[in-house]
Copies of this chain bind each other. A is one copy, B any other.
C-alpha cells in the first residue's frame, strides 16, 4: 500500500460563507444553500442522485492546520484542551469534513444543496448515499 495515498479532487463548493466566523457550527444547524460543482470527468458518478434526498459529502479543508493534535473545543479558550479526534475541529492530520446535505436540484454536474457549514471554494473529495 502507498504510505501516503493521494486524493483526487472531484469538484468544488460554491457558497456564500467566506470566513469561519460566519460559518454555522455544523451542518445540523445550517440553513445555508450552495452548489456542488462536480468536475465533468466525474459527472457520470452522480447518476442516481435525486432531488430531495440527503447525501453525505466529504470536503478537503485545504486551509486547516494538519499539525495540531489538541484544541479548545469550538475555539472556546475557557474549555480544556482536547484531542482533535474527540472533536469536529477542522484542524486534524487529515482535514476531511463530513456534511449531510439535502439535494434541492440537480443540473448536469451541479447539485444545489441545503445545510452548508463549509467555506466557499472548498474542494470536494467524495459523495455517498446516507445510510438509513
Which residues of A are in contact with B by a Cβ distance under 8 Å? 1-10, 26-28, 38, 42, 44-49, 55-56, 58, 60, 62, 66, 69-70, 81-88, 92-94, 96, 98, 123, 125-129, 131-132
How long is the Cα–Cα vector from A30 to B119 in the complex, in angstroms? 35
Q: Interface centre among A5, A44, A69, A123, by most B CB within 10 Å? A: A5
Check B125–A56 contact: CB distance below 8 A.
no
Count this chain's copies in the assembly: 2
Distance (whole angstroms) from the CB of A99 to the closest CB of chain B: 10
Which residues in B have their C-beta under 8 angstroms from that of A26?
Answer: 131
Q: Known: A9-B3, A45-B70, A70-B44. Is A96-B129 also a contact (CB below 8 A)?
A: no
Which of B6, B69, B128, B131 is the one whose CB lies under 8 Å from A85?
Answer: B128
Check A69–B96 contact: CB distance below 8 A.
no
Which of B27, B48, B49, B86 is the one whose CB lies under 8 Å from A46?
Answer: B86
Which of B58, B86, B127 is the one whose CB lies under 8 Å from A129?
Answer: B86
Which residues in B have their C-beta under 8 angstroms from that of A127?
Answer: 85
Check B45–A93 contact: CB distance below 8 A.
yes
Residue of B nearest to A97 (CB): B128
Check A94–B62 contact: CB distance below 8 A.
no
Which of B46, B69, B87, B129 is the one whose CB lies under 8 Å from A128?
Answer: B87
